Amino acid sequence: ADATTPLEISGLTKRYKNGFLAVDDLSFRVERGQVCGLLGPNGAGKTTTLRMLMGLIHPDEGEIRIFGEPVRPGAPVLSRLGSFVEGPGFLPHLSGRDNLELYWKAAGRGESHLEAALKIAGLGDAVRRPVRTYSQGMRQRLAIAQAMLGLPDLLVLDEPTNGLDPPQIAEMRDVLVRYAAEGKTVIISSHLLAEVEQTCTEVVVMHKGRLVAAGPVAEIAGHEGAIVIATPDV
């Protein structure tokens, strides 16, 4: 067990009750300061993997270690993880800031770093406006600010660029790069190679629950495994 490694996954396997093998013997690690993209077409097993590392569902086999500690429901190390699963419900008539304050109070999780999180998320004066006036990109960044409220050492985001246009994706990259530059580590999922190329330093390519390729984005972008994205029924 290596307490300095943000994430180490080995032999991870998950079969759903209907017999479907969603994650199949998956192993990879993510180092401090990396922005790692979990890339794969719909159904590749990305969300299942992220839910296991958040401690929300149990693997059938294998192990997930966060900073050296095995993940299980209620594990203390989960307090070092901040996460965002798509579609958090914000209260539309409240400001972005009030939404986050309310959320943090309800979560009852120690010190809030509201100002820092809002700054990294780059929401500016918009935080004082009601959420109903927000664009999709601003909502996504508010959701990410929410996941960052505890300044978690490991930030896990499921499809944070979903529904964003290219300028918004570029803003999202800046948010994640700023966060990683503070010595933090980020993991996102995406089904688009171009997004991962724009946003991440590392990539793990998944297809049908299995690892196809993993490494620095610059190496993987030209790797034939990444082509599964273009032809999902390979």
Q: Which residues bind ligand ATP (CB under 6 A)?
A: 16, 18, 20, 22, 40, 42-48, 191
Of 43 and 122, the one with the shorter C-beta distance to ligand ATP is 43
Q: How far is the CB of 54 from ligand ATP (least distance, A)?
A: 13
Considering the complex, what minimum distance in angstroms separates the CB of residue 74 from ligand ATP? 21
CB of 23 to ligand ATP, least distance (A): 7
CA of 114: how far to CAs of 118, 119, 192, in Å?
6, 9, 31
**Complex with ligand ATP: residue 14 or 97, whichever CB lies closer:** 14
The residue among 46 and 141 lying less far from ligand ATP, judged by its C-beta, is 46
Look up residue 130 and give its DSSP letter.
Answer: B
Closest approach of ligand ATP to the CB of residue 211, in Å: 13
Q: How far apart are CA 234 and CA 229, in angstroms?
A: 9
Closest CB to ligand ATP among residues 38, 175: 38
Nearest Cα to Cα of residue 66 among 32, 16, 102, 108: 32
Give the containing element (helix H, strand E) for 53.
helix 46-53
Listed in sequence order, the DSSP H helices in 63-222 are 96-107, 114-121, 136-147, 166-181, 193-199, 217-220
